[in-house]
């Protein structure tokens, strides 16, 4: 992996550049690009990253707070891992996302019980928010958590849950009251009676994904994160950090597509020269590179803004996520086109990237939802002025 040009931007300090280099070297040596068994590979990746300390980038010590993490480092890690393997990026990101609510809002006992093991790669984490009728519209969530004695009883179904079936615990969002202020968050350990996490969902870009079914699933009151009714705030505060990093993962995919394309067009002979000699190909390369640099600017602007002390980066993160994922789709599509038949051949790098990029335009808020978020923020700013 050649050092991306945006590492020279003033958003970064020396330790960020060192991180990108060191993680890139480690990933090239230890990460398989497309393993046959993604479930076992995901577990192995979590263990491997935990053993060498990479997961401390996304999971703080119990004494720390998730909101104090270096978001630029999170983004660089996802960009670097995404360049090598979408599954490696996924494994890293889900440890952070699953641990985020506990770090942000958990009490001391909860943080001690889960965060060190997640950082060491000994526990696999999962974030269970989505439902069949409550994806983008979190307020429509229907899973219930009914107070009962010294705890709560959960009933309902979650779907499209990453790490379902391999997670050691799930942060589950359930309804304890009415409306958006009636949601609460709970830690539910895998194996808890009444929790079925065995239903898997196959994907075009394989990674562990499935459905969780809760049938009179009883959890103690100590499983509640924060206060009852704070679930929406917990979910959105966690996503506010990780939404920017999705854009960084897409940036990594796009950089890989461009590098593969540059190698291909310089070697592919056509009409007495190479593809790279054709003006139409040079034009495509120019657009691809420009899309990548524009994405990097938005991603690392959002990350730097958060690191500089902004309480929320809702608009900036939405811009970064929406633009970078859509731009990466365009860059990768151009790569497939320039590869011709090889680009749609199963097993080629750009074919894999074409499958890998598509989910990023949907998860953690589809592009259309990000546009709504941006517009509402703009309108609110205009009204306050």
Continuous segment of H or E residues that includes residue 325: helix 314-339
Q: How would residue 22 be classed by pLDDT, with cut points 50, 70 and 90?
A: very high
Which residues does the annotation mark as catalytic? 364
**Distance between first and last Cα of the chain:** 46
pLDDT at position 363: 87
Q: How far is CA 281 from the centre of its chain?
A: 32
pLDDT at position 226: 94
In tens, the pLDDT along 51-104 reads 999 999 998 877 666 656 799 999 999 999 999 999 999 999 999 999 999 998
**What is the rounded distance in angstroms from the CA atom of residue 94 to the CA atom of residue 175?**
23
3-state secondary structure 5-58: HHHHCCCCCHHHHHHHHHHHHHHHHHCCCCCCCHHHHHHHHHHHHHHHCHHHHC
5-124 topology per CATH? Butyryl-Coa Dehydrogenase, subunit A; domain 1 (1.10.540)
| Tokens encoding 69 | 């993490």
Domain ranges of the chain: 5-124, 126-229, 237-384
Radius of gyration of the chain (CA): 21
**What is the rounded distance in angstroms from the CA atom of residue 38 to the CA atom of residue 43?**
9
Residue range 297-310: mean pLDDT, rounded: 94
Query: Please, are residues 24 and 77 in contact by the beta-carbon 8 Å criterion?
Result: no
Query: Please, are residues 58 and 69 in contact by the beta-carbon 8 Å criterion?
Result: yes
Q: Are strands 151-162 and 183-189 parallel, antiparallel or unpaired?
A: unpaired
Residue 225 pLDDT greater than 90, yes or no: yes
**What is the rounded distance in angstroms from the CA atom of residue 308 to the CA atom of residue 136?**
29
Residue range 315-323: mean pLDDT, rounded: 96
In tens, the pLDDT along 188-203 reads 999 999 999 999 999 8
At the second CATH level, the architecture of 237-384 is: Up-down Bundle (1.20)
Residue range 263-277: mean pLDDT, rounded: 90
In tens, the pLDDT along 109-153 reads 999 999 999 999 999 999 999 999 877 778 789 999 999 989 999
**What is the rounded distance in angstroms from the CA atom of residue 314 to the CA atom of residue 232?**
14
| Tokens encoding 243 | 């939404």
pLDDT at position 316: 95
- Residue 352's DSSP bridge partners are none
Model pTM?
A: 0.93
In this prediction, what percent of the chain has a pLDDT beyond 90?
A: 80
Residue range 218-246: mean pLDDT, rounded: 93
Superfamily of domain 126-229: Butyryl-CoA Dehydrogenase, subunit A, domain 2 (2.40.110.10)
- Mean of per-residue pLDDT scores for the chain: 93
Residue 377 pLDDT greater than 90, yes or no: yes
pLDDT at position 327: 98
Give the residue with greater pLDDT, 375 vs 383.
375
Report the candidate in 133, 129, 239, 136 with the shortest Cα–Cα distance to residue 185: 129
């Amino acid at each position: 992996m050649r050092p991306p040009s945006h590492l020279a931007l003033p958003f970064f300090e020396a330790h960020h550049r060192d991180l990108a280099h060191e993680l890139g070297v480690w990933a090239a040596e230890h990460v398989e690009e497309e393993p046959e068994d993604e479930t076992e590979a995901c577990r192995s990746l979590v263990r491997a990253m935990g053993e060498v300390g990479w997961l401390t980038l996304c999971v703080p010590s119990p004494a720390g707070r998730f909101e104090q993490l270096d978001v630029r480092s999170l983004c660089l890690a996802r960009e670097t891992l995404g360049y090598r393997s979408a599954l490696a990026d996924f494994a890293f990101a889900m440890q952070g996302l699953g641990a985020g609510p506990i770090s942000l809002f958990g009490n001391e006992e909860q943080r001690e019980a889960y965060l060190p093991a997640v950082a060491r790669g000994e526990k696999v984490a999962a974030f269970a928010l989505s439902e069949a009728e409550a994806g983008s519209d979190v307020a429509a969530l229907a899973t219930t958590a009914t107070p009962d004695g010294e705890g709560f009883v959960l009933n309902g179904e979650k779907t499209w849950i990453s790490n379902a079936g391999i997670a050691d615990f799930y942060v589950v969002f359930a309804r304890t009251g009415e409306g958006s202020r009636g949601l609460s968050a709970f830690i539910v350990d895998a194996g808890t009676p009444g929790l079925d996490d065995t239903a898997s969902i196959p994907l075009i870009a394989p990674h562990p994904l499935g459905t969780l079914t809760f049938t009179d699933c009883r959890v103690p009151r100590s499983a509640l994160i924060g206060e009852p009714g704070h679930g929406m705030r917990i979910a959105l505060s966690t996503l506010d950090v990780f939404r920017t990093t999705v854009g960084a993962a897409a940036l990594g995919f796009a950089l890989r597509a461009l590098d593969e394309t540059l190698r291909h067009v310089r070697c592919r002979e056509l009409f007495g020269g190479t593809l790279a000699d054709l003006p139409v190909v040079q034009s495509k390369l120019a657009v691809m590179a420009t899309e990548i640099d524009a994405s990097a600017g938005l991603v690392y602007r959002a990350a730097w803004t958060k690191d500089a002390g902004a309480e929320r980066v809702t608009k900036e993160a939405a811009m970064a996520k929406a633009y970078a994922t859509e731009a990466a789709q365009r860059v990768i599509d151009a790569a497939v086109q320039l590869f011709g038949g090889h680009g749609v051949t199963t097993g080629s790098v750009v074919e894999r990237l074409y499958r890998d990029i598509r989910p990023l335009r949907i998860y953690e808020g589809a592009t259309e939802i990000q546009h709504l978020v941006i517009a509402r923020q703009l309108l609110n700013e205009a009204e306050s002025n």
